[in-house]
Structure 1
């Protein structure tokens, strides 16, 4: 199949998704092109108009408009691309599904769901849905010594429970060091604490990978996730990953390969429910994990790594087969 991947090339998660998806589809024997949507207000205004004008000109000349077998749109519906493929498929994130996406959903043939939690959400919107899942980068580096310390990769997201986590850590000066990596655009610098290393900076990929591998525990109390790369990357390095006991986070992390924390309240973000971790439950979980011996922590980390490898294989099989089935 000739597949056209369409997404905002934002230099962060969606850019990574384009690469991972392209690699998986190419390995499955499909031909992949990328229609990367670049930054800039002028591009945002002109790109759809120029594309529609090109399509109209091709039709006027009697040329073939459909250049692809499949348009595979990541996160948002890009209706201007509908005419250039025989099939239009959406890989959405419920938490970023806008009213404009819903309005254009009629032109979408199928939905590929990144989580099982997303399947009924989009079935209720009247679309056939295939669960395909997703995968993440393999960040494992076995040469980095592991510390019994905690790591939280906030990035630039505001859905990671970062502020509540920092506040909780400040109340426990007896706990080991918590390293938080956060984008300067979204970070809020709070009172300093001896056991908090708050890195508000842009780190090199090599340094970020070292930090991911150096920490025994990764705290990932997401309020919501479209897939959950920082959860899955944490499991991939064999860390003991802590997240909220709510969908879709508990699809990836289970008590056998991590730790789940209850939530105190919920909210909404577009089609997603948001979950805010319970501070007392997080305190109890951290205390319990610190009491486990190295052998038990290694067992949990090994189980997380095994799940990462199995999930990666299964995703590559599912996405290749799902696209092939469209033909």
Structure 2
């Protein structure tokens, strides 16, 4: 531990990380890097397909492109620094770097949570008001949904970053995590953080439960509409429309609520780190797979793009 501290300046923090240097952890690290590579490639591919294929220029795919952009930025904010620290043996991160990581992380998680919640409204309109879909989900409404998600997420990230980095850190600078996260950092502050922690908890409740309530309300209406459908084919189509979104919501909100809405006395660094890997690395990999492998439009766009590449290579 002293070696790590001597490698950094007095303003640096030390990230303990999640891996040691035993053979098993080298295998786990390799698995995380493989998942990171799939996440980056999958999200870049999905964004590219939505951008170049005219058939995917619809509200749902516009939201998916923004979701993929958030996931791409999230994994690139966390994993490269973790990998560099592990491979180099240096555990330090600068004070400014820590603040930037907090700002990006909170902004992206908040924006993604809000966007997933508001995407439930898109599913609701598609099933309950199909004839008025293009009116209710106009280009202006889509921009407002995406813009609102980014704005509130970034605002939340900026507030938490400024507040967390304003506390004095005059004792130990060893962060028991693999990235700079506000709750882990506040344990090192040599000042009373109870008021800020209460406000942070209230903010997390708002940022998670508000979109989650939109999801519950939207799917309650969707379920009522599906029950009234007489056609089995119509029910199957409605389920296909919402199943991918429900899967993504379950993954994201399940992990986020476990991390941020548990009472403080039940939280342990080891549990937090494991679940953090799930929603900072695994979920960004799964989202493009969920929305592409179960979506014929995306598969069709991929085949079309591969066909164009094959023709171009032949010429």
TM above 0.5:
no
**Greater RCO structure (CA 8 Å; 6+ sep):** 2
Flag the structure with higher strand content: 1
TM-score computed with the length of structure 2 as normaliser: 0.29
TM-score computed with the length of structure 1 as normaliser: 0.28
Flag the structure with higher helix content: 2
